Amino acid sequence: MQSGTPAGRPLRDTRVVLSGLVLDNPVIPASGTFGYGSEYREFYDINILGSFSFKGTTREPRFGNPTPRIAECTEGMINAVGLQNPGIDAVIAEELPRLRTFFHKPVIANISGFSVEEYAYCCERIDREEQVGLIEVNVSCPNVRHGGMSFGTSPEAAAEVTRAVKAVTTKPVYIKLSPNVTDIVSIARACEEAGADGICLINTLLGMRIDVRRRRPAVANTMGGFSGAAVFPVAVRMVYEVARACSVPVMGCGGVRSARDVIEMMMAGATAVQVGAENLRNPYASKEIVEALPAEMERLGIERLSDIVGIVG
């Protein structure tokens, strides 16, 4: 998308390319904050987005964790939703056909699992869906006991999932990594060596709040995923480290809430940028970021967003 500017000034090119997938702009609502798009279409035409990552999907339907699931924090929130979703069969039979009626771009399919076999099964099924342009494999969810987080905390386990998924898919596969590790680079490299087409990071940090009046954890699951603006510096640092260490594209995520945040994360090395918790605080957040990008680019003297990816050495 080339965004027009007043006469005599250059056009601002917001387009980016993810593993052959051309996006009008790099703004992608993150999985778990945008459902399957139908709720947000009531607020605006979501085709303004580069794409979006739909709700984390597992083989079987999941009700998720008990309530309460949300706790507010300074400049952020903790959630312990627990991968509530209708299951892969319902997503293919109901959600994707509905999505096609109002979203006319390739979508990102977020897949979660509790075994290597489940990851492979769900990814093979979703790979056949025409509207899915890219598969995002979540090995980092900290909210489900004995689930995704265990795969994302060791290079060997993350690589095993990556190889299994790549063996049964034809579309680009991005592995979404957990920040709850001591060495994010070794895990990203292991995924790249196992065939990952890209890396997405970061997912939520593991956090906890206590209800001091009730003298018990604020969420029923005790701990949950900490997200929001407070985690942005951690996300920028990890994007920077991984982008410098790996040759595959990176999707940055974590605490993004403005067009300037998008540009900062791209300068750190992200080719595209996901917006998560801010969508829950402000349902127009992703739309406002897309619309603000050309003016922010003009203020910073940027003609093409693709030129700034990883510009900070």
Classify residue 245 as exposed, middle or buried by CB count within 10 Å of its CB (0-12, 13-18, 19+): middle
As a whole number of angstroms, the distance between CA 199 and CA 201 comes to 7
Q: Report the phi/psi class of residue 58: left, alpha or beta, with left for phi > 0 and alpha for psi in -120 to 50.
A: beta
As a whole number of angstroms, the distance between CA 182 and CA 55 comes to 27
Q: Are 57 and 126 in contact (CB under 8 A)?
A: yes
**Sequence-distant (≥ 6) Cβ neighbours of residue 1 within 8 angstroms:** 13, 14, 15, 24, 25
Classify residue 127 as exposed, middle or buried by CB count within 10 Å of its CB (0-12, 13-18, 19+): middle
- 141 given a catalytic annotation: yes
Q: Are 283 and 46 in contact (CB under 8 A)?
A: no
Coil, helix or strand at residue 218: coil
Q: Report the phi/psi class of residue 301: left, alpha or beta, with left for phi > 0 and alpha for psi in -120 to 50.
A: left
As a whole number of angstroms, the distance between CA 115 and CA 153 comes to 14
Active-site residue, from 73, 122, 123, 141: 141
Question: Any alpha helices (H) in the chain, and if so which ranges?
Answer: 88-90, 96-100, 116-127, 148-152, 155-166, 184-193, 232-245, 259-268, 277-281, 285-300
Catalytic residues: 141
